[in-house]
Amino acid sequence: MIMIQPYDKGSMGQIEKAIQMSDVGLTPNNDGQVIRLNIPSLTEERRKDLVKLASKMAEEGKVAIRNIRRDAIDDVRKQEKNSDISKDESRDLQDDIQKVTDKFTNKIDDLLKSKETDIMTV
């Protein structure tokens, strides 16, 4: 159970509304003094849902990394087109960008595997 005791009692309604709208799956109980959040024990079904959520977040992270890679490679190609850098430099920079992208994509995969293990451990 999580107990929230706001300093300003007038903000109790706003806090309660924010928790309900946050879509975290918790129902706040307001008694006028504190807000109580009952956190149920994790069932196998809920654990699988959390793993799916973690996978979705990891995929969003990978997409963000790939978008950054695309923007960086586009900048390098523009510099090459404007003759600011040579073709060899452009190719080297693009390879470096790809290596960094692969490094962080693999890091996300490793973190996801670790988190899945943590979540599924009873």
Tokens representing 109 are 């995969």
CB 52 within 8 A of CB 112: no
pLDDT of amino acid 121 = 87
CB 78 within 8 A of CB 94: no
Enumerate the CATH 1.10.132.20 domain ranges in the chain, comma separated.
Answer: 44-120
How many CB atoms lie under 10 A from the CB of residue 12? 19
Q: Comparing C-alpha atoms, which of 119, 112, 113 is closest to residue 46?
A: 119
Q: Which CATH number fits domain 44-120: 1.10.132.20, 2.102.10.10, 1.10.3470.10, 3.40.30.10?
A: 1.10.132.20
pLDDT of amino acid 26 = 81
- Fold type of domain 2-37: Gyrase A; domain 2 (3.30.1360)
Enumerate the CATH 3.30.1360.40 domain ranges in the chain, comma separated.
Answer: 2-37
Can you give the pTM of this predicted structure? 0.70
pLDDT per residue as tens, the chain (122 positions): 889 888 888 888 898 888 888 877 788 888 888 999 888 788 888 899 889 999 999 999 999 999 999 999 999 999 999 989 999 999 999 999 999 999 999 999 999 999 999 998 87
pLDDT of amino acid 99 = 97
N- to C-terminal Cα separation, the chain: 19
